[in-house]
Amino acid sequence: MTDLVTFGETMALFAARRTGPLRFARDFDLGLGGAESNVAIGVARLGHSATWVGRVGADEFGDLIRATLLGEGVNTEAIADPGAPTGLMIKGRRTADLIDVSYYRGGSAGSRLAPADLDPALIRGARVLHLSAITPALSASAREAARHAVAEARAAGVLVSLDVNYRRALWSPEEAGTWLRDTIGDVDVLFATVPEARLVADGGVPAEPVALAEALAALGPRHVLIKSGAEGAMELSDGVVRHAEPYEVTEVDPVGAGDAFAAGWLADWLAGATPGQRLRTACAAGAFAVTSQGDWESLPRRGDLSLLRRGADGVSR
């Protein structure tokens, strides 16, 4: 039994150490990343059990992913696929303010995820099923796996959470919009940025958080979260709109903020927090995640959230 089940593609990640065009970057760190495993780590750090399912290559990078997730306390089914390699991400820093991410994931092990990889009993025994709209863009079998998982969760009354996470490298806005509109009726919690919300909403809806949230909620989700980065976030739940002020932090690495936000919200939902508290935790987790390096290394524990307000000289000893 696990509180949260998620699935998707997690990749090895080469992250450039210096700011500038990637071809001059020279030094890279090896790590890993994936939107759904980031959420699983985030939920685990905030005190709930989480399970991640996905395919990796039967290679060193697959081993790295399995070992890291296990080490982070995530129940991990990293299925070693001998027929394809683990996908790769390359992460550069084009300027101080712009991260560049590219992928080598075509035909990867992760993209070969299939419905049979997802044990129905695992899903039915969970309290939350979380997925992102990256998975349906990976392959036909991955799309079918997503459909299957959502159907299982629905049938068992498991909360279905979806983060749009639009990736233009994988599919067009039109393709994404079609899949999202087909799926949203089965979704309980939807996470989106304003541009992502517009992929789903009718073109006539104003490009404004509350209007978009209302349009999306009308399609099914009981909870719609619209993230506006450094401008904060809003939630429309059961017809009630809540706004959250952003935290002022010094940004070190923006990647992973959205996953942290989802993890914070879902962890507090699992903990039975009030809607107001839940939204504040989501914002705090998102803010904290940008204050240090790494897609997931920077995800907070409960105690870290208080560090957002620094002490006298910024030194703790």
Residue 1 interacts with a copy of itself (CB under 8 A): yes or no:
no
Residue 121 interacts with a copy of itself (CB under 8 A): yes or no:
no
Tokens at residue 203, please?
Answer: 């073109």
Residue 298 interacts with a copy of itself (CB under 8 A): yes or no:
yes
Nearest CB to a copy of itself, comparing residues 135 and 237:
135
CB 112 within 8 A of CB 141: yes
Cβ neighbors of 316 (< 8 A, separation 6 or more) are: none
Q: Distance between CA 79 and CA 98 in Å, rounded?
A: 34
The radius of gyration of the chain from alpha carbons, rounded to an integer in Å, stands at 18
Write the interaction track for a copy of itself spanning residues 206-245; mark x where CB under 8 A is met and - where it is not: -----------------------x----------------
Q: Which of residues 21-40 bind a copy of itself (CB under 8 A)?
A: 21-30
Residue 302 interacts with a copy of itself (CB under 8 A): yes or no:
no
Closest Cα partner for 131 from 122, 119, 116, 143? 143
Which one is catalytic: 117, 259, 295, 304? 259
List Cα–Cα distances, 190 to 144, 219, 222, 262, in angstroms: 20, 11, 8, 9
Nearest CB to a copy of itself, comparing residues 61 and 179:
61
Residue 303 interacts with a copy of itself (CB under 8 A): yes or no:
no
| Of positions 63, 144, 186, 214, contacts a copy of itself by CB under 8 A | 63
Tokens at residue 54, please?
Answer: 């996905």
| Shortest Å, Cβ 222 to a copy of itself | 25
Residue 259 designated active-site: yes
Residue 68 interacts with a copy of itself (CB under 8 A): yes or no:
yes
| Of positions 1, 82, 97, 272, contacts a copy of itself by CB under 8 A | 97
Closest Cα partner for 225 from 200, 194, 251? 194
Q: Which of residues 158-187 bind a copy of itself (CB under 8 A)?
A: 167-169
Residue length, the chain? 317
Tokens at residue 6, please?
Answer: 């998620």
Q: Distance between CA 89 and CA 302 in Å, rounded?
A: 29
Q: Distance between CA 208 and CA 218 in Å, rounded?
A: 16
Residue 194 interacts with a copy of itself (CB under 8 A): yes or no:
yes
Q: Which of residues 40-59 bind a copy of itself (CB under 8 A)?
A: 59
Residue 252 interacts with a copy of itself (CB under 8 A): yes or no:
yes
169 burial via Cβ count (<10 Å: 0-12, 13-18, 19+)? exposed
Residue 191 interacts with a copy of itself (CB under 8 A): yes or no:
no
Residue 82 interacts with a copy of itself (CB under 8 A): yes or no:
no
Residue 67 interacts with a copy of itself (CB under 8 A): yes or no:
yes
| Shortest Å, Cβ 85 to a copy of itself | 7
Nearest CB to a copy of itself, comparing residues 150 and 305:
305
From 64-72, 109-117, 139-147, 156-164, give the range in contact with a copy of itself by CB under 8 A: 64-72
Number of other residues whose CB lies within 10 A of the CB of residue 47: 12
Provide the residue type at 153 as one letter.
A
Nearest CB to a copy of itself, comparing residues 159 and 286:
286
112 burial via Cβ count (<10 Å: 0-12, 13-18, 19+)? buried
- Which residues are identified as catalytic? 259
